[in-house]
Structure 1
Amino acid sequence: MERGWLHGEGFLFCLILHLLLQGSADIFTINCSGFDQHGVDPAAFQAVFDRKAFRPVINYSIPTQVNISFTLSAILEVDAQLQLMTSFLWLNLIWYNPFIRWNPKECGGISKLSIATENLWLPDIFINEFMDVDQTPTGLMAYVTSEGHTRYDKPMKVTSICNLDIFYFPFDEQNCTLSFTSFLYTVETMVLGLEKDVQEISNISQNLIQNKGEWILLDIRQTMMKMAVDDSYYDQITFYVAIRRRPFLYVINLLVPSGFLIAIDALSFFLPPESENRAPFKMTLLLGYNVFLLMMNDLLPDTGTPLISVYFALCLSLMVFSLLETVFITYLLHLVTIQPPPMPRWLYSLLLHCTSPRERYLTAPQKGNKGLRLTPIQLPGLKEPMELVGKVPGPQEAELNGCPESTRGQQEDEAQKQHLVSLWVQFSYMMDTLLFRLYLLFMATSITTIIVLWST
């Protein structure tokens, strides 16, 4: 009798244990019968909705894995002064909720449903570089599958801080970062992963980007790290967004007009140095260049010193130096027609060194020349130019002497004076030639630099 009672008690214990185990296996399975005929019954998900305040896990020692991906669909603005990049992206978050499961066979083949996000637990993923108020629209939906996987797609207008280097403007490339992390859950409670390969994220963003404006998306790379805050560690995924500026607008509006003005200023060297129209022409160009810089100032970055600003400063300096050189030569040519100053010995040696061998031998002055274009003559016993000025006897002195040689001496002194004038004229032409070659070198260097920066 006792043995039978023990046998019956063991059987009852096994039956109860079986029922409990069977119930525990189906305790989180949603009864979806009738969904295909009467629609989704909210009461079937009420137990899930009641748990939205808690992290959806059965064992709290196991962290929730959230997989992240995004699609960069537009680069709206890059502010060099505030060091900000404004972009539009779709953020994709996927995680597992063990409390949402159903059998698709019992629900007419329904394997995926959309549920309002206000009824679900959402991971608190944010961007570290975010510098604005989150303007994500409310009332978004999330997709849940019959296996318990939840997918949340979130459109975001992101204004993020970005360390911009504008030295190579407008041929600059920038590398901005987007760091995704949680501000509440540490690595013990939440880990982050990639829902897509980073190369796939980059390719999809390049193909779907809608803004064809100033910036081009080059590439997206990523790194995973743990961010330490006090004694806690947080999982973090950092994406590096490489973008490049389209320089065509700035080349047309800035570099081409500046290059034209410099080229016209270089062509002004073909005007004779003694021309009265050369200085006013250069002054007009200089004034026009200053007006051009004032009008184009809005296109230049407000902060930093880009390379194009250095180029404009060099162009302006060359034009100012060219105008000063023209004024100096005009004054010098006017002075030598009245009384040519003595030429320093070092300048005379430099002039002889810079001129060609043919021009070193001076020929006789041509008839009809008036002092500006006289070619000097090589006379026997010619002294150094700096010893000539102030030793020429005047006509009255020659008449008082009454010597037959006075006329010949006066002619020699006049020839030496014309020789000195011709030396100063050659010096003015040498200065023009050197400055013109400097213009050509600057223009060639500028064009080469633009081509190299644009092609790379």
Structure 2
Amino acid sequence: LVGNYDSSVRSVRNARQATEVKVDVALRQVLRLSERDQILTTVLWVRLLWTDEFLRWYPEEHGGQSVIRIPCKDIWLPDIYLYNNADEISTGKLGHLTDVIVQSNGLVEWPQPLTAKTSCDINTRFFPFDHQQCELLLGSWSYDGTQINFTHLVPYGDTSDIIENGEWELLSMSVYRELNYYSCCSNPYPNVRYVMRLRRKADYYIFTYVLPCLSCLVIVLGGFFLPTNAAVRIQLEVTSLLALTVYLLMIQENMPPSSGDVSILGKYTM
């Protein structure tokens, strides 16, 4: 089947025809969201589907064989990249050497696992009761919309088998198709954007940060009811000040160094 196949040629007989490539992303796990580095680490199962007009056969002529699996390096593959890749080691290209599943009608399915590190704009103003919105932006790097019509398979991300994270709760995972124009090129580049909305599970931070800070507030207010000449009053206020300083350092250690969205809890400890 691939004896005379040229893997450098796009999978259409008419070069003017765009190859329709569909993507389906299943979110398996949110590993970590680093507020300081503003990087989201996720485990994904990605499927790419397209039709290869050079990989078609009649099953009745091959013993009823209608589906085969062959190494992906033997055929043409779309160059799909993770545009907002934040991994210093990887370029963000989808290219795991997994086998492709080819059907007799030319439909090619390329499933692959991916541990993705993507940039995410973090807003910690309402920490630890904050919501975050992070994205996965996928698209071809060298083929524009006249060559690859890149779109999503279904209008939502697959979260049916997600492994729960101890700190973050996934609220939704929606998907949008975009046409982006860049200064380098006149033709548009289609992208698929997966948007994940996350909510922080605040129980740990309530007992670690919020309640101790409120306790310090009660202690400070209680000091005003002590006699002005009592030595314990000064000791109590100084101790509360030191405690609030420690909590301020703990909070700021995990927050991104940004002046635009300082957390309300951080402002309180100041």
The verdict on a shared fold, with TM-score over 0.5 as the criterion, is yes
Q: Which runs of 5+ in 1 are unaligned?
A: 1-43, 314-456
> One-letter code of the match for 1:84?
I
Given the superposition, is the C-alpha separation of residues 291 and 232 from structure 1 closer, same or farther in structure 2, using an over 3 Å criterion?
Answer: closer
Given the superposition, is the C-alpha separation of residues 82 and 98 from structure 1 closer, same or farther in structure 2, using an over 3 Å criterion?
Answer: same
1:104 alignment partner, one of 50, 53, 59: 59
Output aligned runs, 1:334-345, within 5 Å.
none
- Residue 193 of structure 1 corresponds to 151
**Cα contact 1:116–1:140 (8 A) shared by 2:** yes
- Residue 151 of structure 1 corresponds to 109
Counterparts of 1:145 and 1:190, CA distance in 2 = 20
- Residue 262 of structure 1 corresponds to 217
Counterparts of 2:84 and 2:60, CA distance in 1 = 46
> One-letter code of the match for 2:81?
F
Counterparts of 2:250 and 2:180, CA distance in 1 = 47
- Residue 346 of structure 1 corresponds to none
User: What is the Cα deviation at residue 63 of structure 1?
Assistant: 0.9
> One-letter code of the match for 1:181?
G
2:168 alignment partner, one of 215, 219, 235: 215
Q: CA RMSD in A?
A: 2.3
1:45 is the counterpart of 2:11: no
> One-letter code of the match for 1:60?
A
Of all paired residues, the percent bearing the same amino acid is 26
**Cα contact 2:100–2:111 (8 A) shared by 1:** yes
User: What is the Cα deviation at residue 294 of structure 1?
Assistant: 4.2
User: What is the Cα deviation at residue 292 of structure 1?
Assistant: 4.4
**Cα contact 1:76–1:211 (8 A) shared by 2:** no
> One-letter code of the match for 2:2?
F
Counterparts of 2:80 and 2:24, CA distance in 1 = 12
Given the superposition, is the C-alpha separation of residues 153 and 300 from structure 1 closer, same or farther in structure 2, using an over 3 Å criterion?
Answer: same
- Residue 389 of structure 1 corresponds to none
User: What is the Cα deviation at residue 266 of structure 1?
Assistant: 2.5
Given the superposition, is the C-alpha separation of residues 284 and 235 from structure 1 closer, same or farther in structure 2, using an over 3 Å criterion?
Answer: closer
Given the superposition, is the C-alpha separation of residues 134 and 90 from structure 1 closer, same or farther in structure 2, using an over 3 Å criterion?
Answer: farther
Given the superposition, is the C-alpha separation of residues 51 and 137 from structure 1 closer, same or farther in structure 2, using an over 3 Å criterion?
Answer: closer
Task: Give a deviation string over 1:389-435, Cα, whole Å, max 9, x none.
Answer: xxxxxxxxxxxxxxxxxxxxxxxxxxxxxxxxxxxxxxxxxxxxxxx
**Cα contact 2:79–2:140 (8 A) shared by 1:** yes
User: What is the Cα deviation at residue 55 of structure 1?
Assistant: 0.5
**Cα contact 2:247–2:269 (8 A) shared by 1:** no
- Residue 160 of structure 1 corresponds to 118
Counterparts of 1:292 and 1:171, CA distance in 2 = 17
**Cα contact 1:77–1:87 (8 A) shared by 2:** yes
Counterparts of 1:234 and 1:285, CA distance in 2 = 57
Compare relative contact order (CA 8 Å, sep 6+) and give the higher one, 1 or 2: 2
Bigger strand fraction: 2
Counterparts of 1:300 and 1:233, CA distance in 2 = 37
> One-letter code of the match for 1:225?
E
User: What is the Cα deviation at residue 100 of structure 1?
Assistant: 1.5
- Residue 263 of structure 2 corresponds to 306
User: What is the Cα deviation at residue 234 of structure 1?
Assistant: 1.4
In the superposition, the TM-score normalised over structure 2's length comes to 0.87
Bigger helix fraction: 1
**Cα contact 1:80–1:302 (8 A) shared by 2:** no
User: What is the Cα deviation at residue 186 of structure 1?
Assistant: 1.7
1:142 alignment partner, one of 100, 114, 118: 100
User: What is the Cα deviation at residue 276 of structure 1?
Assistant: 4.2
1:285 is the counterpart of 2:240: yes
Higher radius of gyration, 1 or 2: 1
1:95 alignment partner, one of 14, 33, 50: 50
**Cα contact 2:48–2:110 (8 A) shared by 1:** yes
In the superposition, the TM-score normalised over structure 1's length comes to 0.53
* DSSP 3-state at the match of 2:3: helix
User: What is the Cα deviation at residue 175 of structure 1?
Assistant: 1.5
- Residue 27 of structure 2 corresponds to 72
User: What is the Cα deviation at residue 57 of structure 1?
Assistant: 0.9
- Residue 335 of structure 1 corresponds to none
Task: Give a deviation string over 1:75-103, Cα, whole Å, max 9, x none.
Answer: 22223333322222121100001122223
**Cα contact 1:70–1:91 (8 A) shared by 2:** yes
Given the superposition, is the C-alpha separation of residues 81 and 287 from structure 1 closer, same or farther in structure 2, using an over 3 Å criterion?
Answer: closer
**Cα contact 2:79–2:141 (8 A) shared by 1:** yes
Given the superposition, is the C-alpha separation of residues 290 and 234 from structure 1 closer, same or farther in structure 2, using an over 3 Å criterion?
Answer: closer
* DSSP 3-state at the match of 2:23: strand
User: What is the Cα deviation at residue 295 of structure 1?
Assistant: 5.2
User: What is the Cα deviation at residue 274 of structure 1?
Assistant: 4.3
User: What is the Cα deviation at residue 265 of structure 1?
Assistant: 2.7
Counterparts of 2:143 and 2:62, CA distance in 1 = 35
Task: Give a deviation string over 1:244-278, Cα, whole Å, max 9, x none.
Answer: 22222211111111112222232334433444432
